Amino acid sequence: MERVSVPPEHNRLSASKLAGQFNNKAGSSLMVAANGATSRRPLWAGFLRSAENFPDRPALVAEKKTVSYAELRDLARRIAATIQRHPEFSSTQLTAVFAYRSPTAFAGVLGTLFAGNGYVPLNRTFPEGRTQVMFERSECRSLIVDANSLPQLNGLLEHASERVLVILPDLSDVSPLEAKWPMHSFVGAEELRPASQWQEPTIENDSLAYLLFTSGSTGTPKGVAVAQRNVVSFLDYMVERYEVTEQDRFSQMFDMTFDLSAFDMFVAWERGACVCCPSQKELIKPDSFIKNNNLTMWFSVPSTAVFMKQLGLLKPGHYPQLRVSLFCGEPLPVSSVQAWSYAAPNSIVENLYGPTELTIACTLYRWDAQRSAAESEMGIVPIGYPYPGMKYLVVDEELGEVPPGEHGELLMSGPQMSLGYWKDAKKTADAFITVPGRTDVYYRTGDRVRRPRSSAPLIHLGRVDSQIKVLGHRVELGEIEAVVRKHCGSDAVVAVGWPSTSSGYGGVEVFIEGQVENHQLRDAVRSELPEYMVPRRFHFRDKLPRNPNGKLDRTTISKSLDGKHD
Amino acid sequence: MIEASSEQIRTFLQQYILEKSVAGGKEKPGELADDCDLLLSGMIDSLGLLDLMSAIQQHCQQEIDFEALDPEQLTVVGPLCRYVSEQLAAR
């Protein structure tokens, strides 16, 4: 086993610099050195080119409305011109988009980017308290809101300590809001600036594409800052690999608060294709959505395929028009791929892997009916091979590379490595490290993989920490424990994933030492966590099992659920 | 394999929701109305729906093909119960 001979301070030097740049927005070029070649092509350049080439083709179907490239460009430019008109609200170079699966949501994302800012997606289906924390931590001073998110706007503004520019493209009369909130500035549909006033912004090396909040182990979500050049690098490979054309029609199964949504939008728009957004119910039962929208490109978490199979929606030959099917976000069961392949006989099927910190996806594996079952382990499809330019190491706890065939933590580096955690130098330094004997900065994925022998694919074996996947959502058990601890008064709280499914966990259950009023606790926890993180059950025990070191024994606690459930 | 009327499916659904609510520490739900949307009312989430569908199929002792059910009605009590009952009768 290789020993670490470099002091920890050295390991963290580069990453500290990296995180520091967010504190002063100095536009450091550190990542150029770390990653080699970079691109300053704006993320939105592909959309504008497509709008030029195919102005009348559909760019988007959302809320049952079809929006052409020219229409979407026009609305996005009007939003951008409005943001540019008020530069005093762009000090953090971020704009929040508080909109959900509506044309305004997509125009808001584009408008934000056209204005030279990165977007911060907010989600009205999340608890309001969590949305407020995300908005506060981002320090956004501008905000785009759609009609259906409007009822939650007051809650957001109540916690705003500084003046905010609120753009409401779906609202004609903003005077009631102006009367209620004299401190803030409101722009309604009629007051948006003309598209002709939009000025193309200059893109810096580290100009942000988006800031996405993920589950954090200390109880508060952490913001991952992804640069436009990270996403452009990803896009270049994806559009070529899948030979995307203006005839393609993409699914949009992911909320914008899930970074996989960026694939659907930007890969489609890069080549003039259409993004099709299902309704909330169609997300659960998407068979007619796939057919009615003539989808050619499918991208979802594997759980959607598992669910569709269970509902009888994966009959052989059902989706002949699909030509590319991609799965990402959680382990992909072999049985799901096989069922999907029968249902979509003309489609290639690929398993994508990647944490938000490495921009959407950074390894992939193409399913091959002849070969892949043998390459899979424990019924799970391999995560495959790194994207071009991305490189990896498989290391032990002391950051020494493990021999081929052994397992360890996956570290990755390359042009898709994000800038780090927003305004959090310590977390950035802990996760973005310099490995002894190497100069490049690597991101610690926290994922356990097997180091391949020769040309074999990477195999994902689980997590090295307490992070789990609940139906595709990344969940830090520590965050749930922190929230429960705060409300129950007991220090001994253990969250476990249960039940185990073929691709992760179906939900979370919590064990608490001592007795607490169950009903109030659940309500309190529900007010702070999104639904997929809210414990399905609370188990109260006089004493929780501990290991010889006095630490709560997660394994024993977790095993106590097996066989005891209904 | 069993045959069951729409009302019998509804009785099972009522019991299922009650058990899940008690186990999860939620308020006990009242009588489920015909137009009650289990998803929009917050009684179950999209993840819980998978569990519910499994439970229905287990209760009926057979796989149920949900393809012909409009997605907008998948989580609405009346249409869901009638659909399951019709599927069982059709076998």
Does A390 map to a domain?
A: yes
Gap between the Cα atoms of A288 and B18, Å rounded: 31
SS3 state of residue A541: strand
Nearest CA in chain A to B69: A285
Task: Show residues of chain A in contact with B64, CB under 8 Å.
Answer: 312
Residue B67 near chain A (CB below 8 Å): yes
Mean pLDDT along residues A99-116:
97
**pLDDT tens-digit readout, A357-368:** 999 999 999 999
Strand partners of residue A97: A121, A144
> Taking 60 as the threshold, does the pLDDT of residue A11 lie above it?
no
| 3-class state of residue A426 by DSSP | helix
Region B25-37: what's the mean pLDDT?
Answer: 83
Is it the case that residue A22 has pLDDT exceeding 80?
A: no
Separation CA A359–CA A230 (nearest Å)? 6
| Complex prediction ipTM | 0.83
For the residues of A264-309, what is the DSSP string, one character each? HHHHHHHTT-EEE---HHHHHS-HHHHHHTT--EEEE-HHHHHHHH
What topology is assigned to B6-90 in CATH? 1.10.1200
pLDDT-derived band at B24 (thresholds 50, 70, 90) equals: low
CATH classification at residue A290: 3.40.50.12780
Least CB–CB distance from B49: residue in A284, A287, A289:
A284
Tell me which range, A118-132, A179-193, A524-538, B37-51, is most confidently predicted by mean pLDDT: A179-193
Same domain, A371 and A450: yes
Which of A64, A285, A517, A520 is the best substitution to test chain B (most B C-beta atoms within 10 A)? A285
> In the structure, what pLDDT confidence band is assigned to residue A518 with cuts at 50, 70 and 90?
low
Pairwise pLDDT comparison (A11 vs B85), residue with the higher score:
B85
State the DSSP string of A449-465. Answer: EEPPSTTPPBEEEEESS
Pair of tokens at residue A180: 């209620």
- Own/partner contacts of A545-552, CB < 8 Å, gap of 24 or more, are A552/A492, A552/A494
Using pLDDT thresholds of 50, 70 and 90, give the confidence band for residue A218: low
Q: Apex CA B46: angle with CA B40 and CA B50, to 5°?
A: 130
A162 contacts A88 by C-beta, under 8 angstroms: no
Residue A282 to residue B71, Cβ atoms within 8 A: yes
Domain membership of residue A244 (yes or no) is: yes
* Strand, helix or coil for residue A98: strand
Helix (H) or strand (E) segment spanning residue A179: helix A175-180
User: If pLDDT is split at 50, 70 and 90, which confidence band does B61 have?
Assistant: confident
- With residues binned 3-state (H G I as helix, E B as strand, rest as coil), the percentages for chain A, rounded to 5, are 35, 25, 40
Same domain? For A369 and A455 the reply is yes
**What is the number of other CB atoms lying within 10 angstroms of the CB of residue A163?**
13
Question: Which is it for the CA torsion A436, A438, A444, A448, positive or negative?
Answer: negative
Residues of B in contact with A471 (CB under 8 A): 47
Residues A413 and A477 placed together within one structural domain of the fold: no
Q: What are phi and psi of A293, to 5 degrees?
A: -95, 5
> Residue A58: inside a domain, yes or no?
no
CB atoms B54 and A310 under 8 Å: yes
- Greatest extent of chain B over all pairs of C-alpha atoms, in Å: 38
| B45 vs A: CB within 8 A | yes
Angle (deg, nearest 10), helices B46-60 and B6-23: 130
- Residue A157 and residue A55: Cα distance in Å, rounded? 37
Asked whether residue A65 is assigned to any structural domain, the reply reads: no
Tell me the chain A residues in contact with residue B39 when contact means C-beta distances shorter than 8 Å: 280-281, 284
Residue A499, preceding peptide bond in cis (omega within 30° of 0): yes
Q: Where do runs of H (alpha helix) occur along A201-272?
A: 228-241, 261-270
Structure tokens at A537: 């059950």
Instruction: Please state the rounded mean pLDDT for residues B55-79.
Output: 89
Q: A16 pLDDT exceeds 70?
A: no
Residues A301 and A360 in one domain: yes
DSSP-derived letter for residue A142 is E
Domain final position from A202, A220, A236: A202
CA distance A373 to A411: 26
Question: How many angstroms separate the CA of residue A247 from the nearest CA in chain B?
Answer: 26
Is residue A108 a part of any domain in this protein?
yes
Neighbours of A172 (CB within 10 A): 10
Secondary structure (3-state) at A211: strand
Confirm if A443 and A417 have CB atoms less than 8 A apart: yes
Both A78 and A147 in one domain: the answer is yes
Stretch A271-277: mean pLDDT, rounded?
A: 98
Q: What distance in Å separates residue B21's CA from the closest CA in chain A?
A: 10
Q: Name the residue with higher pLDDT: A365 or A330.
A: A365
> Is A279 at the interface with chain B, CB within 8 A?
yes
Closest CA to B39 of A215, A506, A283: A283
- Domain boundary among the residues A417, A441, A463 is at A463
Using CB atoms within 10 Å of the CB of residue A255, give its burial: 0 to 12 exposed, 13 to 18 middle, 19+ buried.
middle
Instruction: Count the neighbouring beta carbons within 10 Å of the beta carbon of residue A311.
Output: 21
Interface touch A536/B50, C-beta < 8 Å? no
Q: What is the pLDDT of residue A155?
A: 94
- Lowest mean per-residue pLDDT among A103-112, A126-135, A412-421: A126-135
Q: What integer best gives the mean pLDDT of chain B?
A: 85
* Chain B contact present for A291, CB below 8 A: no
CATH number at residue A485: 3.30.300.30
Report the distance separating Cα B70 and Cα B66, nearest Å: 9
Spatial separation of the C-alpha atoms in residues A334 and A326, rounded to whole Å: 14
Determine how many CB atoms are found less than 10 A away from the CB of residue A446. 18
Q: Which helix (H) or strand (E) holds B69?
A: none
Q: Report the first-to-last Cα separation within chain B, whole angstroms.
A: 9
Contact A284/B47, CB-based, under 8 Å? no
At A178 the pLDDT is 97
For residues A441 and A548, state if they share a domain: no
A250 and A156 assigned to the same domain? no
Q: Under DSSP, is residue B83 helix (H, G, I), strand (E, B) or coil?
A: helix
Of B24, B54, B66, the CB nearest to A536: B24
- pLDDT recorded at residue A561: 82
pLDDT digits (tens, 9 = 90+) for A495-511: 999 888 877 888 999 99
Q: Is B31 on the interface with A (CB under 8 A)?
A: no
Write out the residue range of the structural domain in which residue A300 sits: 8-39+228-463
A186 touches chain B (CB under 8 A): no
Question: What does the DSSP assignment read for A55-96?
Answer: TTSEEEEETTEEEEHHHHHHHHHHHHHHHHH-GGG-TTSEEE
Burial pattern A396-406, b for ≥16 Cβ within 10 A else e, equals eeebbbbeeee
**A506 interaction partners in chain B (CB closer than 8 Å):** 47, 50-51
B65 touches A: beta carbon within 8 Å: yes
Distance (Å) from the alpha carbon of A509 to chain B's nearest alpha carbon: 10
CA distance B42 to chain A (A): 10
Same domain, A157 and A275: no
- What's the pLDDT at A547? 62
Residue A233's DSSP bridge partners are none
Strand order in the sheet with A493-497: A493-497, A508-513, A537-541
- Max Cα-Cα span within chain A: 70
Interchain pair B46, A284: CB under 8 A? yes
Interface of A with B in 296-325 (CB under 8 A): 303, 306-307, 310-313, 315
For residue A220, is it within any domain? no
**Angstrom distances, CA of residue A288 to CA of A58, A313, A355, A377:** 20, 10, 31, 33
Contacts of A475 in chain B (CB under 8 A): none
Do A457 and A497 share a domain, yes or no? no
Last residue of a domain, one of A445, A463, A481: A463
> How many distinct structural domains can be found in chain A?
3
Tell me the pLDDT tens digit for each residue of A227-254.
999 999 999 999 999 999 999 999 999 9
Lowest mean pLDDT across A17-21, A181-185, A403-407: A17-21
Would you report the helix, strand and coil content of chain B in percent, each value rounded to 5? 55, 0, 45
Reported as a single tens digit per residue, the pLDDT across A334-347 is: 988 999 999 999 99
Q: Does the pLDDT value for residue A5 go beyond 60? A: no
Closest CB from A287, A312, A537 relative to B24? A537
Query: Which A residues in the span 401-430 are in contact with B, Cβ-Cβ below 8 Å?
Result: none
Domain assignment present for residue A416? The answer is yes
User: A324 pLDDT exceeds 60?
Assistant: yes
